[in-house]
A = this chain, B = another copy of it.
Amino acid sequence: MDITRVWEGLAEPDGGSIIYVIMDGVGGLSFPGRGGTALEVARTPNLDRLAGESSCGLLEMVGPGITPGSGPGHLALFGYDPLEHDLGRGVLSALGVDFDLQYGDVAARINFATVDNDGNVVDRRAGRIDTETNRVLCERLRDEITLEGDVELFIRTVSEHRAVLVLRGPGLEAALNDTDPQRTGVPPLDPHAADEGSEKAEGAIRSFLDQSRELLAGEDRANMVLLRGFEKYKPFPSLEERFKLSGLCIAEYPMYRGISRLLGMDILTPPSGIKASFEALESSWSSDHNFYFLHIKKTDSYGEDGDFDAKVGVIEEVDALIGKAVDLDPDVLVVTADHSTPALMKAHSWHPVPVMIRARLARVDRVERFDEVSCVNGTLGLRPGVHLIGLALANAGRLGKYGA
């Protein structure tokens, strides 16, 4: 039985407040010449003191050996098993550019690509055109393409060769194959509806592709578009419905606001920088919400860049600010990450992330440092990421007893 459903049944409307401080990708590996992971090397007196007052442990976010994308990593943290709750690329991309998706919209990822005179794909990423070129092209497509009937079209730049397309209209379904052939030397695939309900979307997409081909014909590199990950935006069961949590999201980056919106959280005006994020937490702290999600992106960004020292710097910046969250005296304060992003790998990884839960009823262990190896000896042990919300709810006094 899915343990998250058990929590749903036990969740109580009243109880304490929970803060999640998520340092995206903060987990790592020992870096050559630096003597440890970024968390080990960083001077973090405040996080370490917090560890000494907390239950510590490690979260394996999606599963052993599984490297989570940002979507699955966060879904797990919020108690949505990523192996059960599918968050497709189309919808994630649209949420990721702050597009105001509406239920029933069909979203897909666009890649600008290069085709030769025979129409065969020669570069699936159009030489990674720059984001500014992308904006100009998206604007042209937006201005020139018209779809027949009652289907509206939206196009938004993501970055480089990536954009996102949204269809809006009554009765759209998204059972369409990717047009990206996933290799070069062959033409893009035609979109085909796998069921009758998706034929309307197929027609709109065929029209979009025909017009795009013409409009882009004069381009050197981005003379075609490939589509991937068609997906209909359906309501997700909200944190309120599932766990009786009224959430507020504080995130600089749009994708995390998008996921939060998907789960029914309120979204704060994006702050600019880590200090501003913590200050936003302080100023928004009220009884209107009982679940606060503060997202810090740069630990992941510098990990992706392979910039170990910059990642250390971000961790130290968070350390200097974490007291602001502590001083709000939430019933439960959680510090963790959505996945590891070792600077050594310049990529997300499967390695578990350290976690600490500070709460009056947390069983304090002997861990005195907040890092990947010290947390091995914590009372939370090594456990799936999806466990976190249940532990947070319990520590907040928000779960009833199971059975007589």
Contact = CB atoms under 8 A, between A and B. Distances in A.
Contact of A64 (B30, B364, B391): B391
Contact of A383 (B64, B93, B365, B391): B64
A393 interface: yes
Given A1-B84, A401-B69, A403-B72, A64 B390 contact: yes
Number of copies of chain A assembled together: 2
A251 interface: no
Interface in A296-353: 342, 344-345, 348-352
A41 to B, nearest CB: 15
A69 B404 contact: yes
A342 B359 CA distance: 15
A1 B83 CA distance: 7
Contacts of A1: 81, 83-84
Interface string A387-404: 100111111000111111
A95 to B, nearest CB: 10
B87 A404 contact: yes
A394 B87 contact: no
Nearest to A86: B403
Query: By DSSP majority rule, is chain A's interface helix, strand, loop, or mixed?
Result: loop
Contacts of A46: none
A192 interface: no
A336 to B, nearest CB: 14
Contact of A29 (B63, B361, B387): B361
B372 A376 contact: no
B382 A383 contact: yes
B348 A401 contact: yes
A403 B393 CA distance: 27
Given A62-B402, A345-B361, 19 more contacts: A1-B84, A3-B63, A3-B66, A3-B83, A6-B63, A29-B361, A65-B387, A65-B393, A66-B399, A68-B401, A69-B404, A82-B402, A82-B403, A88-B404, A89-B404, A351-B363, A365-B373, A376-B378, A382-B382
